[in-house]
Structure 1
Amino acid sequence: MADHPSAYKVDPRGNLYLRYLHYIRVTKPLALLIENVPDSLNYGGHNVMGEIAELLEKDLGYRARYSLINSAFHGVPQMRDRVYLLAVHEEVDHEIHFPRAIKHMVLPSGYGGTRSVALKFVDLFGSDAFEEADHGTPDLPGPVTAKEAIGDLSPITLHLEGKLKKGAQRFQVPTAYPRQLGAISAYAKTMRTWAGFEAPEDGLRDHVIRYLPRDTDIFRAMPNGAEYPAAHATAVRLYEEHIQNREQRGGRRLTAGEKTMIFRTMVPPYPVGSFPNRWWKLKSDFPVRTLMAHIGKDTYSHIHYDGAQARVISVREAARLQSFPDGFTFCGTMNPAYRQIGNAVPPLMAKRLAETIMDSLRRACARPAVTRRVPVAAE
C-alpha cells in the first residue's frame, strides 16, 4: 500500500483525530492542543484541521483557532512548518490566540510554495477559526543559527582517526563540553541550564554519530547549503581524481572492472533526479531544515557545516536543533533516539504554546465572577 500514490487516503491513521475528539468529549479539558504536519490542511483535498475546529466549536463547546507556524520565528534553530490547533472550553470565557513571533527571517522560496499548497483548502472548513501566523518585523532579532545551536559542542573526529566502529552506538561514554575560548550563545546557555533538565556534570552521553566511511570525503568537500546533486557531483569529481592519481602512481590504465568497483565504493548509488534534498549540508549562519523521523534511518539530510569534521550531526546535535535541553535523556540506542527527536514537537515551540494557554486561563480566572440575579416573585 505504501507504494501507491493514494495510499494515504485509506491509511487508518488518517482518522485518529476522531479518537482524540472522543477523548475530549469524555474528559472535557479546559484547554487542548493539537499538532500535525501541513498536509493535514490538504489531506486528499480535505482540511482536517478545519473540520476538527468546526466540531470542537459546534458540538463540544470550545473556542478553537488553528494556524500554520514555522518554529524558526519562535526561537527554534529549525525551519519547521507545522499546523497547531489551540482550543479553550466556553466556560473559560476567553478568546485564545497564537503567540507573536520573537524572531524574524525571510523563509527560503521553497517554503512559500509548500505553504501555499497546504493552505489551499483552508477556506473549505473552519475558515473563521484559521489564524495567520505572525512572522514578526525586521526590527526583531534574526533566527537562531546552526552554529549558535551546536557550535559549543565538542568536535567529533573518531571516524577520522579510525576509531569509530560499525554498529549500534550506545550512550555509554560521556563527552565533556570543550573549554570555551569565548562566550557561548544565549541559545546554547538555555539548552545547558533549562530548569529540571540541566546539563549532566560528567558530559553528554548521546553525542555520537553514524559510521559512514564512504562519505567522509564527500562531506568534507561539498559546499555548505549543497544538496544531493552537488554531493553526487563532488563524489564523481573525487572518484575521477582518485583514478587519475592511481593510474599515475601505478604507471598503467585501470580496467573498466577496476573502475566500476572503485566507483561503487566512492559514489553514492542514489539517482540524482530522485529526492534531490535527500542530502543537505548545514549552513552555519542559518537555521536548519526540518528534522523528521527519517533521521532514525539516516542523517544525510543534516550534514554538519564544519567540513573539517566531515560527518553528519550527532544525536545530541539533532536534539539541540530540535531545542531539547541537554539534560533530557532519550530511550534506547542511536537510531531510536534520532527517531524520537524527529517525531517530537520542539520543546521551545511547545513552551511558547503552553504559555499562551496558561495566559488565557489566568486572565479568565482573574476576571470577577459574574453574579446571576435570581428574580424575586411579585408579592
Structure 2
Amino acid sequence: MKTNSIHPVIDLFAGPGGLGEGFASLHHPTLPNNYAFKTAISIEKDVSSHQTLKLRHFYREFQSNAVPDDYYRYLENKITLEELYKRHPIESDHADHTAWLCTLGETPHEDVKKRIIEALNNQKKWVLVGGPPCQAYSLVGRSRMKGQENFENDPRHFLYREYLRILIDHKPPIFVMENVKGLISSKIQGRYVINDILRDLSNPASIIDSKSSDLEYKLYSLSQPGIMNSTGDPSDFVVKAEEYGIPQARHRIFILGIRSDIDIVPKILEKVNLRSTVSDAIGDLPKIRSGLSKGLDNNSTWLETLKEVTQQSWFKREKENGLASLAEHIEIVLESIEEHMLEKDSSTYLQPDHFMQWFHDERLKILLSHEARSHMKSDLQRYLFSSIFAQVYDISPKLSNFPKELLPAHKNITEGISGKKFSDRFRVQLSNTPSTTITSHISKDGHYYIHYDPSQCRSLTVREAARLQTFPDNYKFEGNRTSQYHQVGNAVPPLLANKIASIVFDILERME
C-alpha cells in the first residue's frame, strides 16, 4: 500500500554518516522537493565524526532547494560554524538532538531505548541501519590484536548484541546491517562469528532474556536473490561495490532483514555494464603537487628532490635501454613538471559531469579538503617511480620491481621483495580501473593510495578519497586532516547506500 510518508531511519555506529546519507538523499517519487527517508537519529561515539554528522543533519533540515546561503558561507570560511548554527537556531537544535554523541554498550540501554522511541514518534514504517565497529573482525585488526591478552573477550566482538537489543525493543520492519568481509573468516573459541550473528539476527531473543521470543527476521542478500538462512554460504551476503557503479573495489557484508510477519521478497542491487574508474571519480579535480615534510618546501626544492632520481645508478643503467625505458618516461615527466609547476592545494571547483553529477552542487564555489600531504624526500622519489611504472606497464609495482636505491629501509624488506609480506607497500591507484578499498589506514600514510598522475607525485587528498567513497562535494568533514581521512575510510559509500535505500523504500511502500 503506497503512502506519501517520509520514512524514519535509525542509524547506529553511524561514523560520518555515509549509510545515512545514502538513505537521506533518496528522492521521494511522489513528493516534489522531498526525500523518501529522514534520519531520525544517528548514534556515534567519535567526537569528530559526530561533528560531521551534526553538520550534515543541519544541512538535511532544509529542503533540497532551500539550503541557506550561510551554509555555503561556512564552507567558504566566511563565517564560523558557531555563527552558522547561531543564525539558524531551530535547525541547529534539531540537528544537535538527532546527531547523538553516544557510546553504545556504555550508555545505559534504557536511555538509548527512550531516545529511539522519541525519534520514531510512533511511526511504523522505518528502517534500522548500521554496523558494529569492525576492528575485531577485519583481517588487519585481527592480525594486530591476536597476540594481545583477552583478544577473544574484546568487547568489539559483541557490540552487535546492542543491535540485537534494539531489534527486540523496537521491532523494526526492516534492518540493514553492514560489516567488513573479514567477518566471514573471523573465529571466536573455534566458531565462525558470522554463523552466530546470522542465527542471532534471525531470532534476536535467542541470546538475550526477553519476552519477544516470537520476534523473527528473514535474512536476505542484496547481491543474490532468495531468502538466506544460517546454514547457507555467508559469502552470499558480500556486496562488491564496483559491480554497482562505485569507483572502488570495496567488498563488504550487507545483511537485509525483514520481519517475519511481512510477506515481501526484496529486490536486489542492479549491476552496471560499465564500471566507474578512478579517473571518472577524480580526474576533473585540480592538479596539485605534494609537499616536502622536512626542510624547505618550495617549488624549486620539490623539483630538485625529484630530479635527484636521475643521478642514481639504476636510472643511468635504465636509460641505456633506449626510448622505451622508465628513465626516458621519467625525464619527460620532469620536463613537463618544470614547465607547468603546480601548487600544493587548490580550492578551485569545476562542476563535474558524467555519472559524477551525484557529486554536483551548483551553489558550491570552492573545493573542500583538496590539499596535498607532505612526504619525505625518499618517498617522493618512490611515488614518482611507482606512478610512472604504473603508467608504462598498467600495473602498480611490487617491491621486487623497485631499484635497490629506492627500496625503503624496513626490517621486513627482504620478505616484501620475495612476495611474502607487504610486497605492494607502494600502491598506485590506476586511472582506468576502480580504486582499491579506501580504508582508515589512509589516515596514517599514503603509500597504498598513490595518485596515478606522476606530475603530481603524491598520495590522495581527503576530497579524492571522499570522491572514491562517493561523498557529495558539499559534504564537509569536521576535525583535523587525519580525522577526516579516518572518517572517509570507515564510511559506507553514500551512492551504494542510496541504491540500497531504493530497495528498502520499495519494501516499505509495498507493506500494508
Above 0.5 in TM-score?
yes
What's the counterpart of residue 212 of structure 1? Answer: 375
User: 1:191 pairs with 340, 349, 359, which one?
Assistant: 359
Superposed counterparts of 1:266-305, under 5 Å: 267=408, 269=410, 271-272=412-413, 273=416, 274-305=421-452
Aligned residues of 2:290 and 2:458 also touching (Cα < 8 A):
no
Match of 1:226 in 2: 396
- In 2: Cα distance, 1:330 partner to 1:12 partner: 28
Separation in 1 of the partners of 2:362 and 2:480? 20
* Superposition deviation, residue 228 in structure 1: 4.9
Q: Give, in whole Å, the separation in 2 of the partners of 1:348 and 1:363.
A: 23
Q: CA deviation at 1:61?
A: 2.1
Does the aligned pair in 2 maintain the 1:154–1:176 contact within 8 Å?
yes
Q: Distance in 2 between matches of 1:69 and 1:293?
A: 19
Report Cα offsets for 1:220-263 as digits up to 9, x if no partner.
122223245157x24x345xxxxxxxxxxxxxxxxxxxxxxxxx
Q: Does 1:29 align with 2:192?
A: no
Hey, what does 2:162 align to over in structure 1? Answer: 19
1:63 aligns with 2:218: yes
Query: CA contact under 8 A between 1:324 and 1:347: conserved in structure 2?
Result: yes
Letter in 1 for 2:364: E
Indicate which of 240, 248, 252 corresponds to 1:82.
252
Tell me: CA distance 1:348–1:50, structure 2 relative to 1, closer, same or farther (3 Å).
farther
Instruction: Describe the superposition over 1:14-68 as per-residue Cα deviations: whole angstroms up to 9, x where unpaired.
Output: 1111111011100111111101111212211544344333333345222212411
The equivalent residue for 2:349 is 177
- Cα 1:4–1:227 change in 2 (3 A) is farther
TM-score, normalised on structure 2? 0.51
CA 1:28/1:156 → structure 2, altered by over 3 Å: closer, same or farther?
same
- Matched letter for residue 83 of structure 1: I
User: For the structure 1 residues 149 and 329, does the alpha-carbon distance in structure 2 shift closer, same or farther, using more than 3 Å as the test?
Assistant: same
The partner residue of 2:243 within 69, 73, 85 is 73
C-alpha separation in 2, matches of 1:208 and 1:319: 13
Aligned residue number for residue 364 of structure 2: 201
Output aligned runs, 1:146-157, within 5 Å: 146-157=278-289
Q: Give, in whole Å, the separation in 2 of the partners of 1:158 and 1:80.
A: 26
Matches within 5 A, 1:1-379: 2=145, 4=147, 8-44=151-187, 46-58=191-203, 59=213, 60-66=215-221, 67-101=237-271, 103=272, 140=273, 142-157=274-289, 159=291, 162-163=297-298, 175-177=347-349, 184-192=352-360, 198=361, 201-214=364-377, 215-222=379-386, 223-224=389-390, 225-230=395-400, 233-234=402-403, 236-237=404-405, 267=408, 269=410, 271-272=412-413, 273=416, 274-365=421-512
Give the conservation status (yes or no) of the 8 Å contact 2:288–2:346.
Answer: no
Q: TM-score, normalised by structure 1?
A: 0.68
In structure 1, the partner of 2:311 is none
Q: By how many angstroms is 1:280 displaced?
A: 0.5
* CA shift in 2, pair 1:37/1:90, >3 Å: same
Distance in structure 2 (CA, Å) of the matches to 1:211 and 1:268: 19
Give the SS at the match of 1:349: helix
| Structure 1 counterpart SS, 2:176 | strand
CA contact (8 A) 2:248 2:434 kept: yes
Cα distance change, pair 279–326 in 1 and its aligned pair in 2 (3 A): same
Distance of 2:353 and 2:150 partners within structure 1: 45
Q: Is the 8 A contact 1:63 1:95 kept in 2?
A: no
Distance 2:159 2:434 in 1: 32
- Displacement of 1:348 after TM fit? 1.1
2:373 aligns to what SS in structure 1?
coil
Query: Is the CA contact (8 Å cut-off) linking 1:200 and 1:326 kept in structure 2?
Result: no
Tell me the equivalent position of 2:102.
Answer: none
Q: Alpha carbons of 1:15 and 1:97: their partners in 2 closer, same or farther (altered >3 Å)?
A: farther
Deviation at 1:326? 0.5
Identity among equivalent positions (%) equals 29
Counterpart Cα distance in 1 of 2:354 and 2:474 = 17
Query: Any idea what SS the aligned residue of 1:276 has?
Result: coil
Q: Could you tell me how far 1:177 is from its partner in structure 2?
A: 2.6
Confirm or deny: 8 A CA contact 1:207 1:314 kept in the other structure: yes
- Which has the larger displacement, 355-364 or 1-10? 1-10
The amino acid across from 1:143 in the alignment is: R
Contact 1:148 1:185 in 2 (8 A): no
- 1:294–1:331 Cα change, 3 Å: same
CA distance in 2, matches of 1:8, 1:22: 24
In structure 1, what is the Cα distance between the partners aligned to 2:448 and 2:150? 25
Range with greater deviation from structure 2 (352-361 or 222-231): 222-231
Secondary structure at the counterpart of residue 320 of structure 1: helix
1:34 is paired with a residue of what secondary structure? strand
**CA distances 1:255-274 after superposition (whole Å, capped 9, x unpaired):** xxxxxxxxxxx845363323
Structure 1 residues 230 and 287: alpha-carbon distance in aligned structure 2, compared to 1, 3 A threshold: farther
| Residues 210-229 of structure 1 deviation map (CA, whole Å, 9 limit, x = unaligned) | 21032222211222232451
Matched residue of 2:511: which SS?
A: helix
Change (3 A) 1:280 1:158: closer
Aligned counterparts of 2:373 and 2:195: Cα–Cα separation in 1: 41
Q: Distance in 2 between the 1:310 and 1:174 partners?
A: 15
- Distance in 1 of aligned mates of 2:367 and 2:497: 24
Offset of 1:187 from its aligned partner?
3.0
